Amino acid sequence: MRIFRTIMIMICSVALAVAAISAMASEERDLGREILATNDGWASFATGTTGGSLADPSQVYTVTNRQELIAALNNGVYPPPSSSPSNTPKIIYVGGTIDANVDDNNEPLACEDYYRDDYTLEAFLAAYDPAVWGRDEAPSGPLEDARIASRNAQQDRVRIRVGSNTTIVGLDKQVTIRGAWLDIRGSSTANRTNIIIRNITFEDTYDCFPAWDPTDGDLGAWNALYDSISLRNSDHVWIDHNTFLDRETADSTLPDYFGVLYQVHDGLLDITNASDFVTVSWNRFVNHDKVMLIGSSDGASADRGKLRVTLHHNLFENLGQRAARVRFGQVHIYNNYYQIGNASNYVYSWGVGIESAIYAENNFFWVNPSTGITPDQFIERLNGTAIHESGTLLNAPSQSGHQAIDVLAAYNAVNDPDLSGAVGWAPTLFLEIEDTQDVLPAVQSGAGPFNWD
Ligand code: CA
Ligand code: CA
């Protein structure tokens, strides 16, 4: 009896010690000081990506509203100076919900609050209705000018510029940035570099003033600005454990005008203009049309040899297209989970653009059988010639276990010209590549803010 009690006491004290050590470890984990692991995708190339981890204590901020966030990005100064933003190493911890569509008193601004020069949506729709304006040319005149002035008023609020050597990290699982466009933009002579963004939900980035182009497609189109995050002339960027989604402004809530969807969204995470060395890991991309543009134009010759991006362990759920759409870049897409539940908005997942070299391995696709979507539709050829694809699994609800599929062969069987499987490179910068059958549970439990595995 006494021996039993002694053993129990020993077990209990070991358990307590283990609990104490793990509590200490989680208390000591400072996300602001964390850096990208060695070999974790293209952002680990050469110098690696350390963000603002070396920030001086005077450059460590906690922010809970738009003004504080912008000040933190500009050496504590608001409104930001014209030299905006700061490249000094900085750590920005984000708490609560930050809404970008607010005034300097943090009072919410509705679309109507941005109206300038007699713009109203009703007046705009009346002026450029194809029955009145026709379909041959883009809108022009006072109401189009008023739309642009109004758009600029909103852009002034929602555009948040991020400099080099910056870490932005959410403090808890609920942290949300609404309506913002994180504009990470260098120039052709001076990149932005070394940026980490983690553990934040980016929600409802929307343009109150989409442009009408009656010549875009057969029916015309509404084209919006603002990605939740855009990278231009930027390198060594790590985007990790975030969620990107539309909720209040989801496409399903938007009206049709002139017979087409009044689209108020652009991309979720666009990587363009000779950006390079980017790792996008463990994020959730949900409920959106155009997800991720890697390279914005076939004529952007400065992109050649750049746009190297790694996508791993991301959830791509109920999306339309561009997960990702690639031009020029060597893009490693491994261990991602594609969930396709809805046929009405699905276009494709992997866009094979000009001179692109996607290397896709061990990705899992779950397709709702009622959609009738088949694996050949996962790929769209957009002036590209090749994609490497291996280890893909598809759900097979009517059978036991998942089904190994050859997406490239499926594409080539129903399309001409065929795509080649030879992309001219093989990835060397990656962590463990998991068996595809493990991807669904790993991403379901591990992707998104604070879902550490
Ligand atoms: Ca964009
Ligand atoms: Ca063929």
> Do 19 and 108 sit in the same domain of this protein?
no
Is 284 assigned a catalytic role? no
Q: What residues make up the domain containing 15?
A: 2-27
Q: Kindly state whether residue 226 falls inside one of the protein's structural domains.
A: yes
Q: Kindly state whether residue 207 falls inside one of the protein's structural domains.
A: yes
> Do 73 and 135 sit in the same domain of this protein?
yes
> Do 43 and 17 sit in the same domain of this protein?
no
Q: What does the pLDDT look like over 142-183, one tens digit per residue? A: 999 999 999 999 999 999 999 999 999 999 999 999 999 999
The values of phi and psi at residue 308, to 5°, are -85, 120
* Spatial distance between the Cα atoms of 229 and 243, rounded to a whole number of angstroms: 12
Sheet holding 269-272, edge to edge: 159-161, 181-185, 229-232, 269-272, 293-294, 325-326, 350-353, 379-382
Task: Tell how far the Cα of 425 is from the centroid of ligand 2, in angstroms.
Answer: 24
Q: What does the pLDDT look like over 36-80, one tens digit per residue? A: 999 999 999 999 999 999 999 999 999 999 999 999 999 999 999
> Do 23 and 50 sit in the same domain of this protein?
no
Q: Kindly state whether residue 131 falls inside one of the protein's structural domains.
A: yes
Q: What is the pTM of this model?
A: 0.93
> Do 327 and 393 sit in the same domain of this protein?
yes
The domain spanning residue 325 has which CATH number?
Answer: 2.160.20.10
Q: What pLDDT, on a 0 to 100 scale, did the predictor assign at position 20? A: 46
pLDDT exceeds cutoff 90 at 430: yes
Q: What does the pLDDT look like over 242-269, one tens digit per residue? A: 999 999 999 999 999 999 999 999 999 9
Question: What total number of domains does the chain contain?
Answer: 2
Of the listed 322, 325, 327, 381, which one is catalytic?
322
> Do 235 and 144 sit in the same domain of this protein?
yes
Tell which residue, 285, 284, 303, has the closest CA to residue 294.
Answer: 303
For 2, the enclosing helix (H) or strand (E) is: helix 2-28
Task: Tell how far the Cα of 304 is from the centroid of ligand 2, in angstroms.
Answer: 28
Query: Which ligand neighbours the alpha carbon of 181 most closely?
Result: 1
Q: What pLDDT, on a 0 to 100 scale, did the predictor assign at position 23? A: 46
Task: Tell how far the Cα of 234 is from the centroid of ligand 1, in angstroms.
Answer: 15
pLDDT exceeds cutoff 70 at 113: yes
DSSP codes of every residue in 33-48: G--PPTTSSGGGSTT-
> Do 131 and 165 sit in the same domain of this protein?
yes
> Do 327 and 400 sit in the same domain of this protein?
yes
